[in-house]
Amino acid sequence: MKQESLGKEIIRLSLPATVENIFQTLVGFVDTLLIAQLGLVAVTAVGLANTILNVYLAVYMALGVGATALIARSIGAGDRESLTFHVRQALVLSVGVGVLFGLLSLVFGRQMLVLMGADAESLAGAPMSLS
Q: Is the pLDDT of residue 22 over 70?
A: yes
Q: Is the pLDDT of residue 131 over 70?
A: no
Per the model's pLDDT, the better-predicted residue between 80 and 123 turns out to be 80
Average pLDDT, the chain: 89
Distance of CA 54 to the CA centre of its chain: 6
Instruction: With beta carbons less than 8 A apart as the criterion, state whether 113 and 123 touch.
Output: yes
Task: Show the DSSP H helices in the chain as ranges.
Answer: 3-36, 40-77, 80-115, 120-125
With a pLDDT cut of 70, the percent of the chain lying above it is 93
Stretch 85-92: mean pLDDT, rounded?
98
Q: What are phi and psi for residue 118, nearest 5 degrees? A: -70, 135
What is the structure's pLDDT at 1? 56
* Burial degree of 52 (CB within 10 A; 0-12, 13-18, 19+): buried
Per the model's pLDDT, the better-predicted residue between 48 and 26 turns out to be 26
Per the model's pLDDT, the better-predicted residue between 130 and 17 turns out to be 17
What is the structure's pLDDT at 38? 86
pLDDT tens digits for range 108-125: 988 998 898 888 888 877
What is the structure's pLDDT at 116? 85
Residue 48's pLDDT band (cuts 50, 70, 90):
confident
Distances (CA, A) of 126 to 29, 38, 73, 111: 18, 12, 42, 12
